[in-house]
Amino acid sequence: MLRTWIEAFSAVGEFTIAGVIYFEIEAHRAATFLADVLGSEFYKERAKLYEAYVQVAPPEVTLKERAEKFRDKLWNDKVLRTACDLQWTNMYRLRYALRWSIFRGEVSRWFPQVLVSLWVMTGLYQRERETLRPIESKLPGWALRPGTTDWHISERNAASA
């Protein structure tokens, strides 16, 4: 009987240690990502997007009109478009890194203004980009499609599988 209790406590201790190690790994992953995203270089690039968005139209236009003008500006300015794409790439990277994490629900609490601002500014561009260059044609057949938690197999890759 005593041996059973000792084994049970030992098992609980091992699971607790495994849980702590998992938490430490997840906390390190999240901290590393936040250090990158909130770093000065990444912030400077995002600030350029904000500035271009503000300057694209006069203050009296609606958000929709401004977003349409900004979409057009993104398509015509390769440097700005690349900066925008890199911002979203990092958001996709975060989504991928945290898909099974205990922190996956915390992203919007860490920097909600960034997510909302990026979507308001570039939502039209992102939708148009997706229809013109579907992401599944760029990913391997087993890839996790950004913005979802589902595994996605493109038709092109399904045919070759």
d(CA 76, CA 64): 19
Sign of the four-CA dihedral 140, 135, 108, 55: positive
Indicate the residue type of 10. Answer: S
Give the bridge partners for 151, in sequence order. Answer: 144
Q: How would you write the pLDDT of the chain (161 residues) with one tens digit per residue?
A: 888 888 888 989 999 999 889 888 888 877 777 777 777 777 788 888 889 999 999 989 998 899 899 999 999 999 999 888 888 887 777 766 666 666 666 666 666 677 777 788 888 888 888 787 765 555 444 444 454 444 444 443 344 33
Rounded to 5°, the CA angle 93-99-101 comes to 110
78 Cβ contact partners less than 8 Å away, ≥ 6 residues apart: none
CA atoms of 72 and 53, how far apart (whole Å): 11
CA–CA separation, 23 and 30 (whole Å)? 10
